[in-house]
Amino acid sequence: MCTLFDEIEKEGMIKGIQALIESLQEMEIPYTKTQNQLMVKFSLSEDTAQEYMDKFWK
Q: Shortest CA distance to 17 belongs to which of 2, 46, 39, 33?
A: 39
Per-residue pLDDT tens, the chain, 58 aa: give them.
Answer: 678 888 888 999 999 999 999 999 999 999 999 999 999 999 999 999 999 999 999 9
- Our count of domains for the chain comes to 1
Chain-centroid distance of CA 36 in Å reads 10
Task: Provide the residue range defining the domain that includes 48.
Answer: 20-53
pTM: 0.89
The pLDDT value recorded for residue 6 is 87
> Do the domain assignments include residue 36?
yes
Domain-embedded: residue 29 = yes
The reply to whether 14 falls in a domain is: no
Contact 57, 51 (CB under 8 A): no
Instruction: Report yes or no on 48 lying in a domain.
Output: yes
Compute the distance between CA of residue 9 and CA of residue 3 in angstroms, rounded to an integer: 10
